[in-house]
Structure 1
Amino acid sequence: MNNNVNTSQENSKVYLEIVKQLRHMIDSDNLKPGDKIPSERELTERLNVGRSSVREALRSLELLGLIETKRGEGTFIRDFKGHRLVELLSTFILQDEEAKKDVHELKYLIELDCLRLIVQRNNDEKLNNFYQKVLTTDFNDEEYFFNIVTLSENRLILRIWLILKDYHNALKLVKPEAPKEKYIALIEALLNKDQTGIISSFNSLRKLSSY
């Protein structure tokens, strides 16, 4: 038990050290998006850690969208300026394997807050337009909730949700499947400004217990 805990803590330190090292290289060497970072072997020597740990850390950073690997060419920096929130999220997630399981829950809580904001915005015209679109066209869960989050008219929340959505997809977590009627019921509750109905419809859609 203790050995497993110690191993987990050591792996977390390795991940964080590589994140710090990459940030240091970007700042000190004035690296830009598209520039190449040191190889696995070079990072292994510089950080004095096992190569397998470096490989796993780089894989995690790639899932987060901070770096990208091109076969036969090496690993390159992606646009960090566009991923400040990803960096903050990764600093937390990479410390705790269990935190990955919480990504979907946080995503759902943000969606629920967006529903509350939509009611406060009182923009029935946009909501009605979305309602008609849902009634007459096909869509998937991701498209539906992208529209919901957009209707909250909070750009920061949208940005956070998009990051969580991408990370959720990268982890290949189980995605909810629900009949179209459940999605329609949620919008109808929004149009009626039925707080209880909104929460009930959302929980049913996401198969969550009532708050």
Structure 2
Amino acid sequence: MANSKVYLEIVKQLREMIAADGLMQGDKIPSERELSERLNVGRSSVREALRALELLGLIETRRGEGTFIRDFHGHQLVQLLSTFILQDEKAKSDVYETKYLLEMDCLRLAVKKMDDAMIYSMEKWLSETAQFHDDDFFCQIVQGAENHLFSRIWGILKDYYNALIANPVHYDRKDYFLLFKALAEKNEQKTLSAYCKLRNLSID
């Protein structure tokens, strides 16, 4: 079974387990180890599924205490999950689209907020790093946007995105440099155009 299907199946099983156990807002859910044993899956897969639920605002992790179901203000947890996390192409498409839109917003902020020192640091990193993952590059962009909420959402969302992709896309290194060059020039339009070129997205 592909990793993405395993991942989504775990989320589905978690949803069913929460319903079967009658867990309510404020209740603590089993630990990663317990869930791994109960669902008979690896702990890393359980961790990714929990991160997806955290992204949706349905659970929260309290340091030293565990993971709890959040106050979801009257929404039915099971119903909300069942309408969002589905094993179909629409759910995947929504994740991809959301990630791309968030990255573009981070680029808009980075154009305005990244100072010369941050630009120099990123240029040095690009020049000296022989190989880097797409996530590594955009982690720099998200940090440059200086928006803590965007950073937190993107961090969880990119993990969810990676879990859904059966065959990771390999981008051309030169396109990252073109994107960085436009960013360094503080040209928002060129930056967004370079991003769309990198992601092979149409430009309206």
TM-score band (shorter)?
Answer: 0.5 to 0.7
Structure 1 pair 137–95 and aligned structure 2 pair: CA distance change class (3 A): closer
Q: What is the CA distance between 1:25 and its match in structure 2?
A: 6.1
CA distance in 2, matches of 1:101, 1:110: 14
Structure 1 pair 104–173 and aligned structure 2 pair: CA distance change class (3 A): farther
Say whether residues 1:108 and 2:100 are aligned partners: yes
Q: What is the CA distance between 1:207 and its match in structure 2?
A: 0.5
- Structure 1 length-normalised TM: 0.63
Say whether residues 1:118 and 2:110 are aligned partners: yes
> 1:81 is paired with a residue of what secondary structure?
strand
CA distance in 1, matches of 2:182, 2:25: 48
Q: What is the CA distance between 1:102 and its match in structure 2?
A: 2.2
Contact 1:176 1:206 in 2 (8 A): no
Say whether residues 1:81 and 2:58 are aligned partners: no
Alignment of 1:183-194 (within 5 A): 183-194=176-187
Q: CA RMSD in A?
A: 3.9
CA distance in 1, matches of 2:32, 2:167: 33
Letter in 1 for 2:85: L
Structure 1: 5+ residue runs without aligned partners? 1-12, 41-54, 56-60, 68-78
Letter in 2 for 1:200: S
Task: Give the corresponding residue for 2:5.
Answer: none
Task: Give the corresponding residue for 1:155.
Answer: 148
Per-residue displacement from partner, 1:128-162 (whole Å, max 9, x unpaired)? 21012102222121111111111111111111111
Over alpha carbons, which structure has the higher Rg? 1
Structure 1 pair 64–140 and aligned structure 2 pair: CA distance change class (3 A): closer
One of 57, 66, 71 as aligned partner of 2:50: 66
Say whether residues 1:175 and 2:168 are aligned partners: yes
Contact 1:63 1:170 in 2 (8 A): no
CA distance in 2, matches of 1:136, 1:170: 29
Contact 1:16 1:94 in 2 (8 A): no
Letter in 2 for 1:24: L
Task: Give the corresponding residue for 2:199.
Answer: 206
Structure 1 pair 122–63 and aligned structure 2 pair: CA distance change class (3 A): closer
Per-residue displacement from partner, 1:158-189 (whole Å, max 9, x unpaired)? 11111111111212244332222110111110
% same residue? 31
- The number of residues matched between the two structures is 170
Q: What is the CA distance between 1:124 and its match in structure 2?
A: 2.4
